[in-house]
Structure formats: C-alpha cells, structure tokens
Amino acid sequence: MRDLTDDKRAEVQRIMRSHTLGTAFVRRAQIVVHAMSGLKAEEIAGRMDLCGNTVRYWINRFNARALDGLEEDVHTGRPPTYSAEQRSAVITAALTHPTELGLPFACWTLNRLVAYLSDQGTAMRRSRISEIFIREGLGMAS
C-alpha cells in the first residue's frame, strides 16, 4: 500500500465518510481505507460484497495515482446525435405555450412538437424528443 502523509490519509477517510460525493467514489475510498488498515484484497472483497479483482484494480490505481486514481476515467463514448442547441430548441419549444408561437392550438403533443420543430429546421424523431423529456424530467401527452 502506498505511503500517505497524515493529510492524505485524512482526506481518504473524509471521502470514505462523505454523504455528498458519488457512491462509487466513496466505495473506492472505503477499499483504500480497508487496505491501509492491513486487510487483504479478498477480505475487503468479502466485507464489501465485491469481486477480488475489482478491489485489486482500485488498490493498484490508488498506488499508482494516489487520490486521482480513485476518480473514474472519462469515457467519451459516441458523440451525441443531436447538438446541445437542438436539444435546447426542443425544451424551449415544449416550455413555450403554442399560442405564443402563433400556433392554432393550446397544448403540445409529441406529433405537434415534431411538426413545429421540423418547420423550424430541427428534424427530430418522436422517440428522441421523448428521451429528452424523460432525461429533463418533463412530461408530454402523446
């Protein structure tokens, strides 16, 4: 296990006890604290209901990178299909009363929103609009 200054040891213990940091980050700090107390990877795995390989992975990362090793690596993944501006246009339109936009109806449906956005130059499928609403916590009649 990597040697830590008292300050770094206190920081790992603070992270381990945190109720505001991400759960996975806190669990990784718990792994390190258990390892600092002398427990072996298999013992830690048993106590925390984890795989021994997972415990060894995070201990090795911590030994190599210190506290930075407890952070998740950034996964870029597939680029978004629609830009932030397009998603913003969907949300803005949905939160605007249709009559304020000169439309002849009082409420949005997904079909009406798809047609309106298409007229405005933002072609987007109903299913994608629905996904945006779910992610943003918005509701919409179909």
Domain extent listing, the chain: 6-70, 84-136
The angle formed by the CA atoms of residues 88, 89 and 91, to the nearest 5 degrees, is: 65
Look at residue 20 in the predicted model and tell me its pLDDT: 87
pLDDT at 140: 64
**What tens digit of pLDDT does each residue of 43-75 get?**
999 999 999 999 999 999 999 999 999 998 877
| Cα(58)–Cα(29) distance, integer angstroms | 9
Running DSSP on this structure, what letter comes out for residue 49? Answer: T
Query: What is the dihedral angle through the alpha carbons of 104, 105, 110, 115, rounded to the nearest 10 degrees?
Result: 0
Q: What is the DSSP letter of 99?
A: G
Q: Of 48, 112, 137, 100, which Cα lies nearest the Cα of 40?
A: 48
- What CATH code would you report for 6-70? 1.10.10
Q: pLDDT of 110-137, one tens digit each?
A: 999 999 999 999 999 999 999 988 888 7
For the beta carbon of residue 92, count every other beta carbon within 10 angstroms. Answer: 9
pLDDT band at 141 (very low <50, low <70, confident <90, very high): low
